[in-house]
Structure 1
Amino acid sequence: MGGDGPAVLRVARVPDIAAVLAGAGVPLGVPVLVLVGGAGDMDDEHERLLGALLRDAVLPVVAGLGAAVVDGATEVGVMRAVGRARAAAGAVFPLIGVAAEGTVVAPGHPPPSADAVALDRHHTHAVLVPGTAWGDESPWLADVAGAVAGTRPSVTLLANGGDIAYLDLEHSVDRGRPVLLLAGTGRTADAVATAGPGSDPRARRAAASRLVAAVGIDDAVAVGAAVRRALGAPAG
């Protein structure tokens, strides 16, 4: 899978997540990279920079550690970038998207709304959860990542992003998951990375967390090293 379209799974209750994933052959108890941030409003240049960083510095770490990636499933922004990077690398790690059922177009089903978005075809699995609005998937995404990781380490990588990125960041922090901000990708990631007096209160609150740190998108070596450390690998 991953290229012909994801295997579509449906989950209605948080306690069922692990069983549904295991039943679909998703490996559990592996390190997890959670990728969140810009979607349809992410500009082409930031998406291009992110794709190159993922290809060169992040996905080799994911593949080398036998980790999985969990994101928002759709064919836009950060999700499209990681799907394309995985396909270009010929990687085989699980790429699991999570989306509210009322916001995406599932194969074989009519669009549930006029603004529904296609699932990214390079993902291996798409977990559809209850909801009709963008952001309804946010707590579920954090819980799916937790179910895949189990007791293994996980880290959230935040690039760009709008209002929903703040929700994703908060859900990660609430679950004790460290967050790496990709500074230089714009919008939410930069707002939190540079937060100070007079900044958006959401950015100041996030920046004050000991779990949140920033690393520049132009320093691929530092990004790769930060992801390795967060996922429990020795330095080097």
Structure 2
Amino acid sequence: MPKTSAYGLTEHTFSNGQLAKILKVNTDTAYGHALSSIGLNGPTPTLLVIGGASLMSPESQAKLIQFFNGPLAAFSQRQNITVLDGGTDAGVIHMMGHARNHVQGRFNLVGVAPLNMVIFPGDDLPQPIEDPDDPPAELEPHHTHFFLVPGKTWGSESRWLAGLSETLAGSSPTMTLLINGGQISLKDMRVNLELGRKVTVVAGSGRLADKVANTISGAMPPEDEQIQQLVSMYYPKQISVFDLLNSSLDDLQTQLKHHFNVE
């Protein structure tokens, strides 16, 4: 069970031995105050991962796991990048946690999720459940920090994910990586772009990411006005594309280096 520290933080040790700091925040909590309260200090490079892994082809999933376990986690480790994501044990967040473990990473991996939509591994589901068809999810056990933000639905965390990443980065390089994803990820993407953040779309990962990439390339007529609007407003200044299936992992690493100004 979680243990409350003298500073009002919560600490939880997962069954794999990973100790995570957990902080519940209020609606009016400032991003900088939340970060300092949990012990994260900037400026430091940050990478925000948004999206999912639903309806992904076996080829895309295999290549994506290679990408996470190889260039992404290794690069984050070498450059001491703080990675932020949704914090729950599913989809690309699961992949990110296992990638950190795969490279025996020491970089900070920070999850941000709605308080009422998460459970600790082994604990009972919180009551009452707002939507039985969309129950709370367990926290991913390789993360080092969690912010549990106000909210009873997925998507409540969108502004927190973007704001915490931007604030922690400060003057350091920062980017958002969109992989697959659906309507919540579209909200995440919009919030990030409105903050002036750069969003890199992983083409070939399916669903939202492919719709955005296909809208940019003209390969498919835009079927969603929201996507068309975002592409029209923010491409190419803030939106770029990784080609997951047709690029080598070395090419993807080169693009990461370019984004984070690494020689």
Same fold (TM over 0.5): yes
Q: Could you say which residue in structure 1 is the equivalent of 2:3?
A: none
Contact 1:193–1:207 (8 Å) recurs in 2: no
Match of 1:24 in 2: 38
What are the superposed Cα offsets for residues 80-107 of structure 1, whole Å, 9 maximum, x if unpaired? Answer: 0000011011011000010011111146
* Alignment match, 1:177: 197
Identify which of 126, 134, 140 aligns with 2:154. 134
Q: Deviations over 1:114-152 (max 9, x none)?
A: 500000001111110000001111111111111221221
- Residues 43-96 of structure 1 deviation map (CA, whole Å, 9 limit, x = unaligned): 473444322102211222222222100000000001000000110110110000
CA distance in 2, matches of 1:107, 1:25: 23
> Which of 165, 186, 201 matches 1:145?
165
TM-score (normalizing by structure 1): 0.90
- Tell me the TM-score normalised to structure 2 length: 0.81
- Residue in 2 aligned with 1:9? 23
Compare CA radii of gyration and give the structure with the larger one: 2
* Matching residue of 2:259: 230
Counterpart CA distance in 2 for 1:228 and 1:78 is 21
Q: What corresponds to 2:250 in structure 1?
A: 221
In structure 1, the residue corresponding to 2:30 is in which secondary structure? helix
Task: Indicate the SS of the match to 1:28.
Answer: coil
2-structure distance, mates of 1:138, 1:151: 22
Return the letter of the residue paired with 1:63: Q
Structure 1: gaps (5+ residues)? none
Which residue type is aligned with residue 185 of structure 1? S
Is the CA contact 1:97–1:126 (under 8 Å) kept in the aligned structure 2? yes
Deviations 1:2-45 (A, max 9, x none): 84353211111455332332232224211001101115x35473
Alignment of 1:202-221 (within 5 A): 202-208=226-232, 209=234, 210-218=237-245, 219=247, 220-221=249-250
Question: How much identity, in percent, do the aligned residues show?
Answer: 30
Q: Larger deviation: 82-91 or 18-27? A: 18-27
Q: Which runs of 5+ in 2 are unaligned?
A: 1-12
